[in-house]
Structure 1
Amino acid sequence: MQRARKPAHIAMFSIAAHGHVNPSLEVVRELAARGHRVTYAIPPQLADVVAGAGAEPKVYRSTLPTDDDPDAWGEGLLDNVEPFLNDAIQALPQQLAAYEGDEPDLVLHDIAAYPAPVLAHRWGVPAVLLSPCMVAWEGYEQEVAEPMWEPVRQTPRGIAYFERYQAWLDEHGMDHTDPDRLIGRPRRCVALIPRAMQPNADRVDPSVYTFVGPCQGDRAHQGDWERPADAERVLLVSLGSSFTKQPGFYRACIEAFGGLDGWHVVLQIGKFTDAAELGEIPANFEVHTWVPQLAILKQADAFVTHAGMGGSQEGLACGVPMVAVPQAADQFANADLLQELGVARHLPMEEATPEALREAVLALTGDPRVAERSAELRREMAAEGGTSRAADLIEAELRQP
């Protein structure tokens, strides 16, 4: 694909959450390496991370809960979405001020960055969504969104939420856009996931959405990991970074795999569980609050995961069979998809006994059909293009009239 004729100013927008920033970091790095000036609107917690990828941070204050306080999101649907609207309303003036006299040629944004398409509209420049998760298919609204939202829309709180959302859009000249479509139906989207992880992929509009697969890079800045010389098999257990307060689950993993012949287990417990809660640690275990996940997966034989999109596609890219124990959000759908693909077992948390965990791991790693399917998906993902193709597609938007 032909490169853009001259370097451009590209502005990326996201929130202070690793799951929303990490998927696009390599794309930012590639665009900067191609000579573009990339600015990045980000809260201060991750300013150094985006700067390390070659972007200029445009720091703003956020009111969203962070990875350090996952319980602050509440439990209901409105509890989950209202913070994003509240944050957008207070963040947009900050971002307008930060870019005054320095408006970009193109806006890139994460799914959580509500102000970004509004700013792009005000500036009269294209906006491209970089989606770290599944996207809407034809029929999504009728099949998923409307049944989920209809009861909420009948409540006083729901009515107030949508009226406030629409008033905010109208205030900024987006009276042609309703709240359901601002992020959910972008003009253009580069999906940073493999097509295999997209539900109803055959009903996704290819003129709007392009799947490029994960854009992972070498992650050398996260550190390395060395497989023990005596390890015949390696198992990684991780529930990600947010929903990790699960000492009972970790104890079940210790009982399931402690002393299992030939197996070495890397157990990541996150920052919300104390290792002292786990009891005696078997000799074939190493326990950490954080690990360089991709470095381990490249050498692993199995992966017990919460099935977040990041971890799911890292497992697929490395050809590692997975036991999916979802915790929240899209993880349940991801777990089902992985199982349908033939490379994973969906094991609900309430069923994740030591016996079930051990049986699932041993069955997956002992099945040649799983190994064949894992290798096939790994090849398919590599062919989707990753970082380089994502950057090509973004540069193509710069040439649009």
Structure 2
Amino acid sequence: MEEQLAGRAVPAIYNSRRKDIYAYLLDAFGRAGARVLYASQSNRSPHFFGLLLDNEERIGVLVYPYRLTKRVTKSRPADELRAELRNGGEAQWAERPLGRDIAGVDATVILLVDLQNDMIFGIDAQLYDPIPLGISAYVKDAQVNEVRATGWYVWEKEVRPGQRRDARSPSNLETIVGFRPDRIIDYVRLERRAALLGLDTPLRFAAAALIGAGNGGEPVRHVLEQEFDLSSQQILDVIRNAKRLSVAVRGGVAEIHLETLLNASSDVARVVPIDEDGRHDFDVTLTTGEFFRVECKNASPKQYANGDYKVELQKTRDPKGEPGGRLYSADAFDVTAACLFSATGRWEFRFALTASLPRDEHHPDKLAAMQHVDSNWAMRLSDLVRRPLAVGPGVDSVTT
């Protein structure tokens, strides 16, 4: 049941004994030049702070704070600092959604506070939502030294799946930002912008690095913002209100996530994007030497009655005078990559050999327009060379 904090509904509120961290955050906002207009109770977590900045801007911040300390143990490296993402007693440990402002005015941040070294580390609130309570987050001495030297340090960390949960990031990477307290407002702005624009790990890294380069906490205008003389939000509104633009952008975004996933895969040697009309999206070479022409398609948000995901596999334009012109030839590309974000809310993909997919009943040399993404589709591209897929109608056999 949602509880109220500062007049806002928050999925879960916990008793907190981190009063020293609460006091440190209040001091950090002051060191960053902000005036604290409102602060929720110190013994309840998360904490909400209403801030007035030196340019008369007002901003609300919902902070999930955790203590970062060095505890030498036999099972962990000696150069490591650890924060346990725990709220309340073990009986309350469960994956719970983060509190968020639906309007995007307030920011939600997850902060690892290192009181001994007088610095803070921010982890990606998008990747940790819902927050998996009871796990640990780690920072190295080398990264502490970088923050001490520069005041703002950004790096990517590999995310490995655990025994009970998948890796949080589709690219198996997450961006972490370490900073001195006087830059906490810069970090709050970064997280607010990342949430509004849905920045993935690579884009979040780029935005954080730009802030670190001295851009005053606000990334410079994108080339399209400059060219169109519109803000990023206005451009997004144009896209949202034009159906064709929206479809095209969703396709492009899926391709970016797929390229990121493939480049991060240890099984992939080379990824070449193909930006030409009438051709597939990527040429991909595996480390074993196999070569695939890959086409990326977005799955439908609606699933089939049996739970299978649904993907439309046809062209956007209908060539005149060509029967079944929107349908793809069975040899148009080697692999179909279905992006499941619309159905699952996660940037994950399933892969199938195109030759194995069902054909159109009227045009047996072409693929059926609608395809079931079922258990025969692979989780990784490299799995396609390790196991056969079920053979679709009109196909004699498939060799992998």
Normalised TM-score (structure 1):
0.25
Could you state the TM-score of these two structures normalised by the residue count of structure 2? 0.25
Rg: which structure is higher? 2
Bigger share in helix = 1
